């Protein structure tokens, strides 16, 4: 009986989570020769939700966080099941630093200088493509204004 109740609770929680996640707008970015299909988190609600509760992400998909101001922003992985790498970007789209993040942790991963954007990709994506700090992410100038 206890197992049945837990299963029902789990199913209801998953359905509620799926309904709570509204699709985010998408945009195309580039990193060197590589194309990125990025979901855009430009509102406080979307920035707070981020990639929480996701179980998978395609190899060249990611999420770009558009912050309201440049600052030394930090990211964490509460309720995030995917191992991710985050690149913090300045206002021109130049990578300041890249941090690897482990699932379901609350460790802070912070920009080393004031950042305007953060780009999350599957863990190891940047290293695997030879993308390093100092390189520019293309298309960032087309991002929507943050709210």
pTM: 0.84
Burial 15-54 (b: 16+ CB within 10 A, else e): eeeeeeeeebeebebebeebebebbbbbbeebbebbbebe
Mean pLDDT of the 28-47 span: 96
pLDDT digits (tens, 9 = 90+) for 73-85: 999 999 999 999 9
The correct answer on CATH 2.60.120.1140 for the domain covering 24-142 is: yes
Domain ranges of the chain: 24-142
């Amino acid at each position: 009986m206890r197992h049945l109740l837990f299963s029902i609770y789990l199913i209801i929680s998953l359905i509620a989570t799926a309904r709570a996640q509204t699709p985010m707008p998408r945009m195309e970015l580039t990193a060197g020769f590589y194309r990125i299909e990025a979901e855009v988190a430009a509102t406080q609600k979307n920035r707070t939700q981020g990639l929480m509760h996701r179980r998978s992400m395609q190899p060249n998909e990611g999420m770009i966080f558009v912050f309201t101001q440049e600052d030394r922003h930090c990211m964490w992985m509460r309720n995030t099941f995917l191992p991710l790498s985050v690149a913090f970007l300045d206002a021109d789209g130049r990578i300041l630093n890249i941090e690897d993040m482990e699932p379901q942790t609350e460790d802070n991963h912070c920009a080393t200088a004031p950042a305007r954007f953060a780009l999350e990709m599957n863990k190891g994506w940047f290293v695997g493509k030879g993308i390093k700090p100092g390189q520019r992410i293309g298309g960032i100038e087309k991002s929507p204004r943050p709210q």
